[in-house]
Amino acid sequence: MAKHLSSSPGNPTGRRRFLEDSARLLCLAGLFGLGLGAYGRRQSLAMSWDALRPPGALAEERFLAACIRCGQCVRACPYHALHLARPEEAVATGTPFFTARRIPCELCEKMPCIRSCPTGALDPMLANIYEARMGLAVLVDHETCLNFLGLRCDVCYRSCPLIDKAISLDTQHNLRSGKHTLFLPVVHSKFCTGCGKCEKSCVLERAAIRVMPLALAKGELGRHYRLGWKEKEEAGKSLIPEQLDLPDRLPETGAPLDSGWKP
Amino acid sequence: MNSAAKNPATNGRTRGWWKSHRFLLLRRTSQLLVLALFLAGPLAGLWILRGNLAASRLLDTVPLADPFILLQSLVAGHLPSATALTGGLLIAAWYLLWGGRSFCSWVCPVNMVTDLAFWLRRRLNLKAGASLVPATRYWLAGAILMVSALTSSLAWEYVNPVTSLPRGLLFGFGSLWLLLPGLFLFDLLVASRGWCGHLCPVGAFYSFIGLFGLVRVRAAGRSRCTNCLACYGHCPEPQVIGPTLQKKDSTHAFILSPNCTNCGKCIDICPEEVFGFALRFRPSRPGSSAPNPNQEE
């Protein structure tokens, strides 16, 4: 290319200038790269808790390599739930997201957002919309949730597209009144798509149930943990051959206590 | 003829307003048309182009995608699906035909901002400014690919003005609008043609496609050149003209530097009508390879 016509590397001053220019440009490009890398890293960490990716979105790190910010999913969404992030929002600039409390995902069966994505950042292999995991609903505040206060609000439960699967109502004795039942909303991560309809519909000023990114909402068991009852179910019998029954003793006298339990 | 060409500022020969502004007008029309086709969807419900300059669908069928973004995505570790790859190939093929940096002068909306700065710089006679090496852009493009690979993300797309401006226009600017005065003032006060002519890595990428571009500017009438320097003064990449205009003994008269943006400014401005667009590889007819002033256009 005609970038150094006057300074061909052939003559000494030309060569010197070429080297100087190259060194200068290398520094410049290095500084630029460092700045860009640092800024990009900050951008990728910026994800706000209430920003949710469209259905089928790859895991966040992979998503940031795959999404080219074309906004076709935004255009495809019939409910105008999706937005492209602006620099001042706490989401990687230009990438699509929705906020459940504003407009939740309506779980279109034809998945127009996924079908419009040209790059595969929204995974075309998602077989049906109920397999989407945009986040996980969490009942974050037990003190203001009306059902916890003993009322029959139930709105999150009723609005859940997977009622009785993703959100169920567990009953518990109401100790305050002594004679009523509490109907406590419980979210099941096996089914919850993270669409956000529960958060949107929560009647409180600020929602007591909120959809959060999975990494924020889910704990993780140690990989070596075995749940005895599940192992038993799989194996068809207890994995422990026989249970020892040690005598229960009273703390002070050490005399054996007859608990009445017999194996 | 020669005496008339002494004054390059007013066109020596009476070439008429249209002849001396046609490519400028065509380019502005093209740039605004592209934006209008995108905007017609959200504003009027006419979905001709859906998406933005990063990727789109033409009439909801033909996929289009910016090959530089796809390259960053590839380097970052994601293989884009067939739709995007097809779109990228279509765009690359398009610019292979029209010359890579035609994108810069016929499509890219940033060009309108920097052209305005360039024009104002000339009108205000601003001479001062940093001297940047035009090759800086290649280094920046390299740095971008490196950062994409190291951070596994499209880091450049957080700040890329070329895709950010249309995206802002179509999907909401937020504080992205600051890029507009930023680029304008940079080009006006810091460096002449600073962004498009020296720094823009997107342009640098399109230069590579332009290595084999078919449509090129040809100085077919260079024997008429009076060295008035009007073309140098108006060319956004003035370093591309010299080799062709001065080496009058070379067999072809094409401006082959991939940095040429095919903007046609030199065609508009030259009082002697030295320049014109031509196909680089013509079917070989006897005598067609020799520069023949009567045959151009």
CA gap B80, B69 in Å, rounded: 10
Contacts of A234 (CB under 8 A, 6+ apart): none
At residue B11 the predicted structure's pLDDT band, cuts being 50, 70 and 90, is very low
For the whole model, what pTM was predicted? 0.79
Q: Which of A5, A30, A36 sits opposite B156 (nearest CB)?
A: A36
Query: Are A195 and A107 a contacting pair, CB within 8 Å?
Result: yes
* Apex B240 CA angle, B254 and B223, nearest 5: 50
Report residue A173 as tokens: 């004795």
B141 closest CA partner among B228, B200, B76, B225: B200
Give residue A7's pLDDT.
45
Give residue B293's pLDDT.
39
- Does the structure show a pLDDT above 70 at B138? yes
To the nearest whole Å, the CA of A231 is away from the closest chain B CA by 39
CB contact under 8 A, A21 and B133: yes
**pLDDT tens for each residue of B220-239:** 777 777 888 888 888 888 88
CB contact under 8 A, A119 and B239: no
CA gap B142, B164 in Å, rounded: 20
Q: Is A64 exposed, middle or buried (0-12, 13-18, 19+ CB in 10 A)?
A: buried
Beta strands in chain B (DSSP E): 49-52, 55-58, 62-65, 215-218, 276-279
Q: Which residue of A has its CA nearest to B153?
A: A65
CA gap B86, A158 in Å, rounded: 44
Q: Which residue of B has its CA nearest to A20?
A: B133
**pLDDT tens for each residue of A22-37:** 888 888 888 888 888 8
CB contact under 8 A, B257 and A2: yes
- Residue to substitute from B86, B147, B232, interface A, most A β-carbons within 10 A: B147
Alpha-carbon B229 to chain mean position: 21
**pLDDT tens for each residue of A200-255:** 999 999 999 999 988 888 888 999 988 888 888 888 887 777 777 777 777 777 77
* Residues in A touching B201 (Cβ below 8 Å): none
CB contact under 8 A, A119 and B78: yes
To the nearest whole Å, the CA of B4 is away from the closest chain A CA by 33
A67 closest CA partner among A34, A35, A113, A108: A113
**pLDDT tens for each residue of B89-121:** 999 888 888 877 889 999 999 999 999 998 898
Compute the average pLDDT of residues B195-214. Answer: 87
Q: Which residue of A has its CA nearest to B199?
A: A29
* Residues in B touching A116 (Cβ below 8 Å): 50, 57
Give residue A261's pLDDT.
59
A195 compared with B259, residue with greater pLDDT = A195
Q: Which residue of A has its CA nearest to B45?
A: A75
To the nearest whole Å, the CA of A159 is away from the closest chain B CA by 30
Give residue B259's pLDDT.
84
